[in-house]
């Protein structure tokens, strides 16, 4: 089954404690993205990757890091989380030639 | 820069009635795509319907149709015969095909919370 998986699905952590949210897709997609969703703001792109070892900033990259060492994986790293990073995070993957985007199930992060 | 505007934060509709969710967009590029997603309370993003800027006919998918008015830059979602299970947040989004990079970036509106009542 074609899918994008994210782990963990829920996470409560404290300010400053490094964390990683994993994202994996099994469709051999070149493109992968991270979005965050906040009430009243919709979804905003954090980082994206156009292929292995190719990543770039989206609209709200501050406080986040990513890496793309393998085509299937695109982890989101918060080196020093802060309460304003409390949000719902989505990973998505796509191919350039198609309009279809595949979203992961979301990770709800709370930073206290 | 692309922009999506959804002016209805919340809407109510009675079961079996039709409802229109508004979406206007702004882009200077001639080639783009418009999307609608449904987000139930469980949180996942469910793709509903897609309209390309060069598509001549309005897109339809079952009870969903997209009322695409290019000159007005609007892409309203019409849900016919509403069901209780349609209660959810609905997002309009746009992908600009001319945009270099961005990784198939979608620009989202702020969403409309739809509540279907008996």
What are the respective helix, strand and coil percentages of chain A, to the nearest 5? Answer: 5, 55, 45
Task: For residues A33 and B101, give the distance between their C-alpha atoms in angstroms, rounded to a whole number.
Answer: 11
Average of per-residue pLDDT across A12-26: 97
Interface contact A88, partner B, CB < 8 A: yes
Residue A83 phi, psi (nearest 5): -55, -30
Give me the half-sphere count of Cα atoms (radius 13 Å) on the Cβ side of residue A64: 27
Instruction: Decide which of A16 and B2 is more confident.
Output: A16
Taking CA atoms, A26 is separated from A5, A32, A67, B47, B106, in Å, by 9, 12, 17, 19, 21
Q: How confident is the model at residue B99 (pLDDT cuts 50, 70, 90)?
A: low
Average of per-residue pLDDT across B3-7: 96
Cα angle B19, B76, B36 (rounded to 5 degrees) comes to 95
Peptide bond between residue A6 and the one before it cis (omega within 30 degrees of 0):
no
- Chain pair A-B, CB pairs under 8 angstroms: 65
Instruction: Decide which of B88 and A96 is more confident.
Output: B88
Interface contact A16, partner B, CB < 8 A: no
Contact assessment for residue A43 and residue A104, using Cβ atoms and an 8 Å cutoff: no
Task: For residues B23 and B96, give the distance between their C-alpha atoms in angstroms, rounded to a whole number.
Answer: 16
pLDDT above 70 coverage of chain B, percent: 94
Instruction: Inform me whether the pLDDT recorded for B101 exceeds 70.
Output: no
pLDDT at residue B102 in the model? 58
Which residue of chain B comes nearest to A49, CA vs CA?
Answer: B103
B95–A56 C-beta distance less than 8 A: no
Instruction: Inform me whether the pLDDT recorded for B100 exceeds 80.
Output: no
pLDDT at residue A2 in the model? 87
pLDDT tens figures, A61-112: 999 999 999 999 999 999 999 999 999 999 999 987 777 889 999 999 999 9
Task: For residues B97 and B107, give the distance between their C-alpha atoms in angstroms, rounded to a whole number.
Answer: 12
Best residue of A76, A99, A106 to probe chain B, by most B CBs closer than 10 Å: A99
pLDDT tens figures, B27-52: 988 889 999 999 999 999 999 999 99
């Amino acid at each position: 089954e074609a899918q994008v998986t994210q782990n963990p699905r829920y996470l409560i952590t404290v300010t400053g404690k490094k964390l990683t949210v994993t994202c994996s897709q099994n469709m051999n997609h070149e493109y992968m993205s991270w979005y965050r969703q906040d009430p009243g703001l919709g979804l905003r792109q954090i980082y994206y990757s156009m292929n292995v070892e190719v990543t770039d900033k989206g609209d709200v990259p501050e406080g986040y890091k990513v890496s793309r060492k393998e085509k299937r994986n695109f982890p989101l790293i918060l080196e020093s989380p802060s309460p304003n990073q409390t949000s719902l995070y989505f990973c998505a993957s796509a191919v350039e030639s198609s309009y279809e985007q595949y979203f992961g199930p979301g990770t709800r992060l709370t930073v206290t | 820069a692309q922009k999506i505007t959804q002016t209805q934060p919340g809407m109510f509709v009675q079961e079996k009635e039709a409802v229109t969710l508004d979406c206007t967009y702004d882009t200077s590029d001639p080639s783009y795509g418009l999307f609608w997603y449904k987000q139930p309370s469980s949180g996942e993003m469910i793709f509903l319907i897609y309209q390309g800027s060069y598509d001549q006919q309005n897109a339809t998918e079952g009870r969903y149709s997209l009322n695409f008015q290019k000159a007005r830059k609007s892409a309203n979602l019409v849900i016919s015969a509403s069901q209780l299970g349609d209660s959810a947040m609905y997002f309009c989004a746009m992908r600009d095909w001319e945009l270099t990079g961005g990784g198939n970036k979608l620009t989202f509106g702020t969403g409309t919370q739809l509540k279907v009542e008996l």
